[in-house]
Amino acid sequence: MESLAMYLRLSIEDDGDKDESNSISNQRKQIYKYIHHDSKLSKYEVVEFCDDGYSGTNMERPGMQKMLKEVKANKIRCIIVKDMSRFSRDYIEMGTYLNQIFPFMGIRFISINDRYDSREHHGNTIEIDTAFQTLLYDLYSKDVSVKVKASFENKCANGEYVFGQVPFGYEKSKEVKNAVVVNESEAVIVRYIFSLAMQGKSSTQIARQLHEENVPTIMQMRKPDKEYTDGKVHSWSENSVRRMLNNRFYLGEMAYGKSVRKSVGSKNGVSVPMEDWKVIKDHHEALISEEIFMQLSLFRPDYSTKRNREKHPLTGKLYCGGCGYSLNYKPLTGKNRYRRFECRKHALLQIPECCTYISADILEETVLFMLNKELMLRGDAVKQSQSLTSFQKAGIASLKKKLEKYQSEMKQARERKDSLYERYALSGLTKEAYQNDSNEISEQIALLSVKIEEITGKLAVMEAEYQKTEEDMKQIIRYSHIDKLTQDVVDTFIKKVYAYKDKRVEIEWNFSVDQGISQAKST
């Protein structure tokens, strides 16, 4: 059934009350009132899309993306907003939708406060006053962005900590807004880590000692009630220790201006060189002295930890069967004589069951053998899958037939209700007779709505299952035999790979039908 989309949006850049029960509610009431007074619009099924707390400077909003997906599926014939800034504050993007996309797709667009209805323009270019209004929204958004940025920088310059999480060892003050104070229970651990480093211990040795002494991790300290169900042994890592030893925040310094946005509404930031950072010294109580930090700091201004490393297709999918952590790929280099994978937690946790290392050549050969064997088995199952898809197609057709029937009954019930009101308005019915018949039709419409929603949900699930089965069959036929492990092959078929100490390999496949885990032992 074709629908009318009501789009609502509220963000921090808007004036007024930000509460859902107020501003969003007011937008909703205003749009419903407009629909009620338009005889053609009132016959559509109204679907609401809402983004509460999202900026209008870009289209990456969940409610907006969901609505545009429905538009592309040709399920929406009209979109109504309170004003154009609810839809977008980007002048160019707004014009593109009004002048090109919506006219091409036959979508009627209504902006109540701007008194704009695309039906009155018949797909022609928007008038100068409307174009000027969208430009004002765009300029207003950029002006707000500049003001917000200036306010943020002013607060930082005044010593206010307006960032998110506070570094371990500190917390937000409960007495002074945007102030940072020492968290003594965490600070004890921070000072202990620096003292171990002063003894000449490496970050890996420190992390191992913290683990052996059962010192709580940062996550365990800050979220003590969180339950871990992934089966991993959670402990300190050498990276978290190294970051702490390199953090000048423990000297009492606060730095800001580390990155800048590419443009208004952009989610991507550009890093600013360290020498251009803005630093406030003696901003808060220091946990270590300058002398200690200079002796221990591993950071060098001309040194970067970013390296162009060779990426292996199994990276991100290969895990140690002993501890559950991912395996790191070690390519051929000056010091590495052969390609291999190593358990990144073995040196720290010293778990006997860990797969300390495995040859990359042997692993690739084993995975390829298991994959081709699995594809042969799946290939034999294709004929069986054809009967499954036939069953799914029959089920989908049956559900669609039911859905069309209920939608037809819904349309007829609404027409009867409209006709009933006309008869009552022309004094053809008594008030009692009208109320009785109207209540009966309303109950029928409510019941049909429930049935339509239920059938639509079942249909969506069955269609998704059918498409996945079809895709699995196409992939199996496409990759009849594989002689090389590529990124495309791994992403298509493999979900996870587990390597064990005894060189046994387990693979969790990406198939939807008869999904399971295959096992083999490398030789």
pLDDT in tens, 171-183: 999 888 888 999 9
Residue 3 pairs in a beta bridge with 45, 76
Dihedral of alpha carbons 246, 346, 360, 326, sign: negative
- DSSP helix/strand/coil, 180: strand
pLDDT in tens, 56-110: 777 788 999 999 888 888 888 999 999 888 888 776 677 778 877 787 778 899 9
SS (H, E, C) 416-461: HHHHHHHHHHCCCCCHHHHHHHHHHHHHHHHHHHHHHHHHHHHHHH
pLDDT for 262 equals 54
What proportion of the chain, given as a percentage, has pLDDT over 90?
14
Cα–Cα distance, 122 to 372 (Å, whole number): 58
**For residue 148, is pLDDT > 50?**
yes
For residue 148, how many other CB atoms are within 10 A of its CB? 12
pLDDT for 186 equals 93
- DSSP helix/strand/coil, 520: strand
Which residue matches tokens 């239920």?
454
Amino acid at 59: M
Q: Is the pTM of this model over 0.85?
A: no
pLDDT for 67 equals 92
pLDDT in tens, 440-484: 888 888 888 888 988 888 888 888 777 776 666 666 655 656 788
Mean pLDDT of the chain: 79
